[in-house]
Amino acid sequence: MNYIKSLHIEGFKKFQTLDVEFNEHMNILVGENEAGKSTILDAIKTALNQQYRLADKSVLRDLFNAQMVEAFEANPSVKTLPRILIEVEFVLDPKTKNADYFYGEVYGTLKKQDEKFGIRFECKYDELLGAGMEQSILEKKIPYEYYALTWMTFANNPYQTIRRPLQFLAIDTTSNATAPSFNSYNRTLFTSRYDEATRAKAKNDFRTKLVEAFDATELPELGDNRKFGVDTKKVVLETILSVYEGAIALENRGSGMESLIKTEIALEKANGLDVILMEEPENHLSFTTLRRMLNEISAKQKDSQIIVATHNNMIASRLNLNNVLWITGGVVKSLSKVDKDVAEFFVKADDNAFLQLLLSNKVFLVEGATEFLLLPHFYKQITGKTIEDDGISVISCNGISYKNYLEIAKKTNKKICVITDNDGKQNRIAEATTFNKTNTLQHIFLGTTTDDWTWEACLYNLNKTALDGMIEVQAGADYLFHKKDYGQVLGKMLNNKVETAYKMLLSKMAFVVPQYIKDAIKWLRE
């Protein structure tokens, strides 16, 4: 199988420098807004598709890394001018057509290294072309028109897309059907699906029949032996091709179905694609259609290398978090070593927020909806600030599943605070104490006695008078919880957790907050 092994970036858009190691099959790029997900995809397209080759040099203003431009302006000289280097390393079957053309020792800083397959794109100031521009450069002016853009293979051969080392397709749902990207999709699919002889015959037949069809219209001559005819050089088959489903061109379908059908076609093994890039495939998709797309990707992900950039939690979890490449702090972290059982949990879990965990600064993990509703209220009551003000997320993780979130948290440098119940078990209290002694970034907080066995019991014990007056109960009702009688009010709180929590929230009362919750808030804010 042919695929992209790694990517090296210097001075391109978001990144001063970045290295990415890709998985052979599935890769899920996640990160905050502006983290650089799109930049990584754009870098690959720039190298393989020679993106920007024909663009005006003014586009470099948007391509140069802002920090490198600032460094030049602070110390202007020819040597400090911003530049771009993008290197894409491949794994290629040596029998692949033109494979030798990409195999060599030229890599990275041009120092001799192990031979590899790859393409190197460089954008740098051409000193010969820019002779006489030295004074302008000293005046902090970047001479964009004097930059040279070059594409070379690792064998130091000029690279042309006609000799592309692998079949490569980008699906960008952020652009509309009229954009050039749509023609690119059709053209790439046509090239990958049919061999050269089949394509040549199709183009020849097209030209011949186009002329014949026009001649058959028998337009009157213009006079003096002059008439209209078709100049076939102006009509290139690949530029007018569209994929049809029935009688409807793909670009005339709704955006959601267009994205789904594009993906289904790309994943067909018969179409011979080695690498598929997907930019935010969740755009325009309903929940049901997104699930259908994910099922298609999951079933066929071994046939190609797929690189997906997404903000969608369902995509990131359903396609297995072991495939996640997390962009944070200007580096890419792989989650491939997360426990396989934990990864499978998030694939199967109906509702999870592991992506929220990755993208939050600090996190409260709570057991359920009751804590999710009331904890922000208690936080503001104690601190005078909202949870959002302090950049904290609250994630409801349903009981003991918080252990799966903590497994992910080990791969981060985030403070994670678990608020849970001891369920009246002394051993759970002891386990939490031991855990907190050995983990500095993750702590577990719960009631310190078996009497404080659950969130509701702690609140009721401290706010009995207020809650007795607030929570309405029916005379004579027993409100048993797990066949035990805890009294009517507490019994109703335990049996109707969300309802009673919401009533407490709407009251806007200042409740007495259990000490372990105070401790949790204090610890997370430190």
Residue 47 belongs to a domain with what CATH number? 3.40.50
What is the b/e burial string over 35-63, where b = at least 16 CB atoms within 10 angstroms of the residue's CB? bbbbbbbbbbbbbbebbbeeeeeeebeeb
Domain containing 84: what range?
Answer: 3-165
Please give the Cα distance from 450 to 21 (Å, whole number): 49
pLDDT at 112: 55
- pLDDT, residue 10, reads 96
The answer to whether position 326 is within a domain reads no
The tokens for 153 are 């293979």
pLDDT tens for the 526 residues of the chain, in order: 899 999 999 999 999 999 999 999 999 999 988 889 999 999 999 999 998 888 899 899 999 999 999 999 999 999 999 999 999 999 998 888 888 899 987 654 455 567 899 999 999 999 888 888 989 999 999 999 999 999 999 999 999 888 888 988 888 776 544 444 456 778 788 888 888 888 889 988 888 888 888 889 888 888 888 888 888 888 888 888 888 878 888 777 777 777 788 888 888 887 889 999 998 888 878 888 888 888 888 888 888 999 999 988 888 888 899 999 999 988 999 999 888 998 888 888 766 788 888 888 899 999 888 999 999 999 999 999 999 999 899 999 876 678 888 888 877 888 999 999 999 999 999 999 999 999 999 999 999 999 999 999 999 999 999 999 999 999 888 889 989 999 999 999 999 999 999 999 999 899 999 999 999 999 999 9
| Same-domain pairing of 425 and 519 | yes
22 and 7 Cβ atoms separated by less than 8 Å: yes
335 located within any domain: no
391 with 378, same domain: the answer is yes
Same domain, 201 and 89: no
Report the residue count for the chain.
526
Are 421 and 371 contained in the same domain?
yes
Closest-CA residue to 361 (of 56, 17, 32): 32
CB 167 within 8 A of CB 275: yes
Structure tokens, 427: 């051993």
Tokens 């040099």, residue located: 57
Domain boundary among 136, 165, 194: 165
Contact by Cβ (8 Å): 282, 318: no
Using CA atoms, how far apart are residues 206 and 211, in angstroms rounded to an integer? 9
Domain count, the chain: 3
Domain contains 455:
yes
Residue labelled with tokens 């391509």: 63
User: With helix as H, strand as E and coil as C, how does 227-282 read?
Assistant: CCCCCHHHCCHHHHCCCEECCEEHHHCCHHHHHHHHHHHHHCHHHCCCEEEEECCC
7 domain residue, yes or no: yes
Based on the fold, state whether residues 135 and 175 are members of the same structural domain: no
For residue 411, give the nearest of 335, 346, 341, 323 by alpha carbon.
335
Q: Report the distance separating Cα 265 and Cα 9, nearest Å.
A: 31
Residue 391 lies in a domain: yes
pLDDT value, residue 399: 60
Angle at 367 between CA 361 and CA 368, to 5 degrees: 100
442-471 core/surface letters (b: 16 or more CB in 10 A; e: else):
bbbbbbbeeebbbbbbbbbeebeebbeeeb
Question: Among 165, 186, 215, which residue terminates a domain?
Answer: 165
Q: CA separation (Å) from 186 to 86, 190, 524? A: 26, 6, 52
d(CA 400, CA 116): 47
240 falls within a domain = yes
Tell whether 491 is covered by a domain: yes
Whether the model clears a pTM of 0.85, i.e. scores above it, the answer is: no
Q: Is residue 186 domain-shared with residue 271, that is, in the same domain?
A: yes
- pLDDT at position 441 is 93
Q: How far apart are CA 179 and CA 186, in angstroms?
A: 12
Q: Are residues 158 and 175 in the same domain?
A: no
Evaluate whether residue 411 is within a structural domain. yes
Residues 509 and 417 reside in one and the same domain: yes
Q: In this predicted structure, what is the pLDDT of residue 407?
A: 86
Q: Are residues 159 and 175 in the same domain?
A: no
Tell the residue number behind the tokens 């979130």, with chain if given.
405
Q: For the chain, how many helices (H) and strands (E)? A: 20, 18
Tell me, yes or no, whether 201 and 276 share the same domain.
Answer: yes
Dist CA 39 CA 355 (whole Å): 20
Task: Determine contact, residues 66/141, Cβ cutoff 8 Å.
Answer: no
Residues 105 and 8 in one domain: yes
Q: Which two tokens stand for residue 449?
A: 């006695």
The single residue listed with the structure tokens 């049996």 is 495
Return the structure tokens found at 71: 């460094």
Among candidate residues 239, 271, 302, the one where a domain is terminated? 302
Distance CA(209)–CA(190), nearest Å, equals 20
The DSSP code sequence of 5-58 is EEEEEEEETTEEEEEEE--SSEEEEE-STTSSHHHHHHHHHHHHS-TTTTS-GG
Query: Within this chain, do residues 121 and 200 fall inside the same structural domain, yes or no?
Result: no
